[in-house]
Structure 1
Amino acid sequence: MKSDEKIKGSDRRELILQWLKENSQPLKGSWLAKKTNVSRQVIVQDISLLKAANEPIMATAQGYVYMQAEEKQEHCAVVASRHSPEETEDELNTMVDHGVLIRDVIVDHPVYGHLTASLMLSNRNEVRNFIKKLQDTKASLLSELTEGVHLHTLSADSTAKLNSAIEALRQKGYILS
């Protein structure tokens, strides 16, 4: 195949699926577009078609992830938090520093109900990139819709890690009581 040759439909989706399955880190739509010589919008449509075919692909702020079936046992918890926008980075770092994956953020909007955004943050570098993207785009946090009140779904390979992260959040005054 020539480097400027577009990869057609089903072949492209097979490649995308293969790349997603082979990588544990998120793959950016722009990278997938460049590798297949199509536009980013075509990749968005391909991902939609793959999801419609029941492929467990999740769009995150870092890119697309294939949700592998985990062999190890995963422990989950949902925590209710409240803090100022300036404390967001500290809250997120507090959780990932305890070995916790921050799956999402949820707010209960008075009109739209539960609004959920996937985060999939597991280390300080991912938190730093998330905060930088917020600053670069001047985007608002979902929690700004609810005066700082929000939920996070957390997961870890042990309840001890979850409990440790929750206790650290409580000590910093972030846990809503």
Structure 2
Amino acid sequence: MSDKKLLGEPRRQAILEWLKASVKAVKGSDLAQRTNVSRQVIVQDISLLKARGEPLIATSDGYLYLQQQPAVTHIEQVIVCHHQGEDTRKELEIIVNAGCHVKDVTIMHALYGEIVARLEIATIEEVDEFVKRSAKQNASYLLELTGGLHLHTIASMHQRCIDQACVQLREAGILIEEE
């Protein structure tokens, strides 16, 4: 932890620069330690930066600055899945092994309506980290609020990768499709 506490606007600018320089998500606790403030102060700073229009997102891995991407075309598809929590690893592994990444998970909650959580999982290592973090924190998956029914936005550079993921999810009894 730094001996010097960064205050207000200088702290927010430092956070913004650290996030811009990072290619991976940065945990709020790491930002808090670097600036010598509480995690709650970081949450407030991120909210203030987002309110200014900074392209920041919160993921399960921490905060990301959405860099301007070069004009690369990728295909996205929303898929409907149904399984229990213990099959989460299997589902995510099928998707990333097919050459896709899982952008988010969405559930339709009876009280709150649509709930979307960004995942940004693209590798087996990220699948492993996500599942381990859930177990370590004893955190429930969103699908547990809907009896296993949920949606994912998956993306790839190639439609064939999305098609392959869908075939394998169907074979695993995870993909829900219109009849």
TM class, shorter-length: over 0.9
Letter in 1 for 2:108: D
TM-score w.r.t. the length of structure 2 is 0.92
Mapped partners of 1:17, 1:75: distance in 2 = 29
Moved more, 68-77 or 46-55: 68-77
Letter in 2 for 1:140: S
Structure 2 residues without counterparts, runs of 5 or longer: none
| 1:15 lines up with 2:14 in the alignment | yes
Q: Secondary structure at the match of 1:119?
A: strand
Alignment-derived partner of residue 73 in structure 1: 73
Mapped partners of 1:45, 1:73: distance in 2 = 34
Alignment-derived partner of residue 124 in structure 1: 124
| TM-fit CA distance, 1:157 | 2.1
Alignment-derived partner of residue 91 in structure 1: 91
| TM-fit CA distance, 1:44 | 0.8
| Aligned residues: CA RMSD | 1.5
Letter in 1 for 2:98: H
Mapped partners of 1:15, 1:99: distance in 2 = 35
Runs of 4+ in 1 over 4 A off after TM superposition: none
Mapped partners of 2:34, 2:174: distance in 1 = 42
Q: How does 1:125-164 map to 2 (within 5 A)?
A: 125-164=125-164
Alignment-derived partner of residue 109 in structure 1: 109
Structure 1 residues without counterparts, runs of 5 or longer: none
Size of the alignment, in residue pairs? 176
Moved more, 127-136 or 80-89: 127-136
